Structure 1
Amino acid sequence: MRRKTRRIRHMALALSTAVAVSLGVLAVPAASAATRPGPVQQGLDALVRSDGVPAALATVQGRDGRARHYTAGVGNLATGAKVPVDGQVRIGSNTKTFTAVVVLQLVAEGKVDLDATVETYLPGMVHGEGIDGRLVTVRQLLQHTSGLPEYEGLLDEASLRHRYFEPRELLDLAFQHKPELAPGAEFSYSSTNYVLAGLIVQKVTGRPLAEEIDRRIVRKLGLRHTYFPAVGDRTIREPHPEGYRKDSAEGPLGDFTEMDPSAAWAAGQMISTDSDLNRFFTALLVPGRLLPEAQLAQMRTTVPIGDTGAGAGLGILSRPLSCGGVYWGHGGDIPGYETRGGATDDGRAVNIAVTTVPTDYDVTRRLEAVVDTALCR
C-alpha cells in the first residue's frame, strides 16, 4: 500500500510512458530451446533479470477467448520453487472494481442513488475538520472525486501482516486530517472512498460485503480462484508465488506472503488469478453480464487523471494504447504483489502480476509496457 501522492505519481508515470515503450508483437511462447521467446515472455524475463522482481506471471486472452500463460523467475526465493502457472496473488486495488460493481448493481435495483449523499446511507459517519458527509455523493466516492483524505499513508506497512482493522478504524485514521480538495473538484485517489462504499453496500443489503461480492460476481461468472479472505485469514489458499517486500529501497527482500489484508478491505483485500481477472474485466464490458447498459455507461463515464490521457470512471480506469484506442481495468498494489492489466471492448485481455511492489517507478512503467504489448499484438 502506498501514500496517495506516490500512487498518483506512480499511476501517471506508468500511464504516460507505457505506450511509448514497444516490445514487439505477441508471439506464441517458445516451443523449444531454439525458438526465441516472444515479446511478452521477454518482457517478464526482463522484469526478473534487470528489475529484480522475484517472479512475474501473466495471462493473455485473445479475441477468441483463448488464453496463454507466462511465468518468469522463481516462486520461492528460499527453495527456488517454480512459479505456479496462473497462480493466485493478492490483487490489491482491483478489489475496488468489484466493490463498485456491487454498488452499481444496487443502483440498478433502485436501492442506491449515485447522486445521493453519503450521509443518506451512513448518517454521522463522515465528519471531521472540513469533512461533511452531507456534501459527498456516492458517485464521488466511486470516482475518487470526493476530496476525502487518504488513510493508507498513515499505516505502518511492516506491521500490517499481524494487525486486524475494522473498517471504521480506517475511517478514523483518515478523518483526523483535513481534506485536500473540495468534493467534486477533481480526481484525487483515496482508498477511504472505497471503505465507505463497502459500508454502504453492507448498510443497504444487510449482508457482509464479501458475501455480496461472492454472490453477485464471483459465483455468477464462475471465478473459481477468486475470493475475499475471511476475517483472520492471512493465507493464500491455492498454489501461488510467494510475495516479498523491502523495508527500504536498498534493503533485502523479505517474505510477506502471509498477512492480514483487513487494512485494505473493500479497497484491496481480494485474492485472484490473472485468468480470473481477465474473465472479470471482459465480462464487465459486456452490457447485461454484470451491469445493465445504463449503469455500465455510468461506470465508463470518466474524468481525466491529470494530463496522462487516462480517465477514471466509477471503479474502473481507461488507459490509452500505443496501437490506438483504450483498455479498461484497474491494477493494484499491496505488500508482496503488484498487478496491472485490463480488457478491451473487442475481448482482448491481459493481466500481469509481480511478486513485490517495486520501489522504482520505472519498473512499473516497464510492467505497463508489457501490458500494452500484449494488447497491441
Structure 2
Amino acid sequence: MDTTALEARLAGLLAEYRIPGASVGLLRDGEVTDFALGVADVTTGEPVTTGTAFQIGSLTKTWTAVTFLRFVEEGKAALDEPVRAFLPGFKVADPEVSAKVTPRHLLNHTHGIEEDFGDPGEDDDVYERMVAGIAGAPQVHPLGHTHGYSAALGYAILARVMEVIDGRPWDDILTDRLVRPLGLSRTSSRRELADPARIATGHLVRSPDEGPIVSPLSHLPRLFGPSGTMTSTPREVLALARLLLDEGMAADGTRILSPGLVREMTGSRVPLPEPYSLGREWALGLLADTWSGVEVYGHDGSTIGHNARLRILPELGLAVAMTVNGGPRDGFYRRAMSEILTSVGAPAVPDLPAPDPTLRLDPGRYTGRYERPGLRYDVGSRDGTLTLSFHLNPMEAEFLGRPDRIDYDLLPVSETHFVTRSPDPLEDPQVVALYDFQDGKARYLHTNSRVTPRAAPAAGW
C-alpha cells in the first residue's frame, strides 16, 4: 500500500481540526501497514512514530470483553448466570436487579445501574470497593429495557468477577490472559507500567485561534481501568482485531477464543436507540453496523485529550485502528476513517442523517428536563423549533472558557431522532434520540450512546 497521498490528506485534516498527531494501522489479508503523522507533544515537538502509544479510552472495553470470554471458554464464568453466582453479596437498590443482572447485561450496557459508587481510590481493591459502593445505587432504567452506555461501572463489575475467580488483580489478569499471549510489548492497562517516553501527550482545543494545549488531566483514574485506561499502538490494537477476524486465533497460532465464542461476541446484540453516530447495535464489547451492505464491528475510545477508533470489516478481511492526541471530533473521525477505507476499496463511514424540513412535531411530546447525577439536559421549544440545553460541569466550563450552559437547535430527522445545530465551529453536529413514549411524552434522551431519563413533567421547563 502506497501511503504517501493518504498521509498528505490526513495531515491536512489534522491541521484543520487542530489535532497535533495521529498514528494509523491497517490490517488487510493478514498484513499490517502503519504510519504516523504530527507531534506527540506540542510543547516539545517530539514526532509521533508508529511505536508511540496512545490512550485508547473505552476501546479498553473490547479487551475486557475478550478477557472475560476466556473465563467463559474455560467454564469458570457464564454470560447468563446472575452476577450473584460469582459475587454472592452483590447488591444495588433494586432487589430484582440485584438478583437478576448478568454479565451479558454488563457487556452490552443494558443493566441500567446508575454510576453511583463513590470514591473507590487507586489501590488494588478499587473494583471490590466499586461493587460495594453501589449497594444503594438506583436504576437509570429497568434491567434490559434499553441500551445506556456505562462509562465505568459495568466493566468494573466484570473485572471484580474475574478477580474473584482468578484470585489476582484485574491488571495482572488482563496481562497474563490477553496482552502476553498476543505478544504485545507496548500495551498496558496502567500508565505506571508503560514507558512515559513512548506515550503521546493529550491535547484539547479551547478555540481555533489558540490551537491545541496540553490536557490538564494526564490520565484517567484507576476506577476506569477495565473500561478505559489502556495505552497501545494501532499495530498492537490490530492484534486484537486479527484475533476476531481469525475466529479466536492469535497471529502465532495460539487459540485465545473458540470460533463459537467469537460468533457469540459479535452476534449477541441489542439495538441502539440512536443508531446514526456509532452504529445500529451493540454486541458484547463491540459496536455493530452495516455500511453499504458490508458488516462492520468496532469500538471507540476517548480520554481527556486522546481518541482512538477501531473498525473491523470481516467480509473484506480488513481492520483499521486510528489513534490521535486531540479531540474527540466526530467530523475528523468520519473524514479521516473514510479516507483510509476508500483508499483500499472499502465503504466510507456513513454521513449523519439530514433533517427533514417537512416534519411538523408536537413539542409537548419532548419538552422537559432529562437528568441523572452530573448530567442534565433541558428540552424546550422556541418559535416552533425544539431546543436542547446542555449543562456543563462548572470546572470543565471554566477551563474550556465556555458558558456552563450550551444551547442547540434540535432539527428533526424523524419522530424520535434529531440533529443538533450549534454556532460554535468546534462543535460537530450530533444526533439525539427522544424516545420510549409514555402518556404521550418521551421517557429517555439518548446521545453519544448515553441514556438520560426524564426527570420532571414537561410543564414549567
TM class by shorter-chain length? 0.7 to 0.9
Aligned amino acid, residue 46 of structure 1: G
Q: 1:239 aligned to 2:209?
A: no
CA distance in 2, matches of 1:370, 1:119: 47
| Equivalent residue number for residue 146 of structure 2 | 186
Larger Rg: 1 or 2?
A: 2
1:374 Cα deviation after fit: 5.5
Partner residue of 1:349 out of 319, 326, 339? 319
Equivalent-residue separation in structure 1 for 2:82 and 2:114 (angstroms): 17
Could you tell me which residue of structure 2 aligns to residue 22 of structure 1?
none
> Residues 122 and 357 of structure 1: is their aligned pair in 2 closer, same or farther, counting only changes over 3 Å?
farther
Query: Match of 1:312?
Result: 282
- Say which SS state the counterpart of residue 349 (structure 1) adopts: strand
C-alpha distance in structure 2 between counterparts of 1:373 and 1:149, whole Å: 40
Report Cα offsets for 1:265-288 as digits up to 9, x if no partner: 111121111001111111123224
Q: Bigger CA drift: 295-304 or 364-373?
A: 364-373
Q: Deviations over 1:1-22 (max 9, x none)?
A: xxxxxxxxxxxxxxxxxxxxxx
CA drift of 1:150 comes to 3.5
Unaligned runs of 5+ in 1: 1-26, 31-36, 156-162
Alpha-carbon distance, 1:292 to partner: 1.0
Write the deviation string for residues 171-213 of structure 1: whole angstroms up to 9, x where unpaired: 5776665322211122211031101011111111112222222
Aligned mates of 2:220, 2:193 — CA distance in 1? 5
Q: Which residue of 2 aligns with 1:34?
A: none
Give distance in 2, aligned partners of 1:246 and 1:348. 32
Question: C-alpha distance in 1, partners of 2:14/2:129?
Answer: 37
2:164 counterpart of 1:195: no
More helix, by proportion: 1
Question: TM-score with structure 1 length normalisation?
Answer: 0.77
Counterpart for residue 44 of structure 1: 10
Answer with 267-276 or 76-85: which moved more. 76-85
In 2, Cα distance between equivalents of 1:336 and 1:211: 26
- Residue in structure 2 matched with residue 17 of structure 1 by the alignment: none
Which residue identity does 2:18 align to in structure 1? G
How big is each residue's C-alpha offset from its partner over 1:110-134, in whole Å with a ceiling of 9 and x where there is no partner?
Answer: 1112111112212233312677321
What percent identity do the matched residue pairs reach? Answer: 26
Q: Residue 213 of structure 1 is aligned with which of 154, 170, 174?
A: 174
Q: Contact 1:124–1:133 at 8 Å: present in 2 too?
A: no
1:366 matched to 2:335? The reply is yes
Task: Please give the secondary structure, in 1, of the residue aligned with 2:320.
Answer: strand
The one-letter code sitting in structure 2 at the alignment partner of 1:203 is V
Q: Which residue of 2 aligns with 1:295?
A: 261
User: Normalising by the residue count of structure 2, what TM-score does the alignment of the two structures yield?
Assistant: 0.64
Q: Distance in 1 between matches of 2:141 and 2:344?
A: 35
Once the two structures are overlaid, the 10-residue window that deviates more, 294-303 or 124-133, is 124-133
Distance in 2, matches of 1:336 and 1:178, equals 31
2:23 alignment partner AA: L
Which whole-Å CA distance do the structure 2 matches of 1:113 and 1:67 have between them? 34
Residue 226 (1) aligns with residue 226 (2) = no
Amino acid at match of 1:326: E
Query: Which of 215, 227, 231 is residue 267 of structure 1 equivalent to?
Result: 227
For the residue of structure 1 that corresponds to 2:90, the secondary structure is coil
Deviation larger for 297-306 or 242-251:
242-251
Report the alpha carbon displacement of residue 77 of structure 1 after superposing the two structures with TM.
Answer: 0.6
Question: Structure 1 residue 329: deviation in Å?
Answer: 2.1
Equivalent in 65, 72, 84 of residue 119 of structure 1: 84
Offset of 1:170 from its aligned partner?
Answer: 4.4
Aligned-residue Cα RMSD (Å) equals 3.1
Distance 2:39 2:200 in 1: 8
Question: Structure 1 227/177 Cα, relative in aligned 2: closer, same or farther at 3 Å?
Answer: same
Contact 2:86 2:161 (C-alpha < 8 Å) held by counterparts: yes
Which digits, 9 at most, give the CA deviation of each residue in 1:75-110, with x for residues without a partner? 221122211224111111121111111211111211
Instruction: Return the alpha-carbon distance in structure 1 between the equivalents of residues 48 and 188 of structure 2.
Output: 21
**Kept after mapping to 2: 8 A contact 1:340/1:367:** no
2:219 touches 2:303 (CA, 8 Å); kept in 1?
A: no
Cα gap change, 1:67 to 1:256, in 2 (>3 Å): farther
280 and 297 in structure 1: CA distance in 2 versus 1, 3 angstrom threshold: same
Q: Secondary structure at the match of 1:112?
A: coil
Q: Give 1:28 deviation, angstroms.
A: 0.9
Q: Does residue 298 of structure 2 align to residue 340 of structure 1?
A: no
Alpha-carbon separation, structure 2, partners of 1:83 and 1:77: 11
**1:164 is aligned to 2:131:** no
Instruction: Go from structure 1 to structure 2 and tell me whether the alpha carbon gap of 1:264 and 1:97 turns closer, same or farther (over 3 Å shift).
Output: same
The 10-residue stretch of structure 1 (325-334 or 302-311) with the greater mean CA deviation from structure 2? 302-311
Q: Which structure's relative contact order is higher, taking Cα pairs within 8 Å and 6+ residues apart?
A: 1
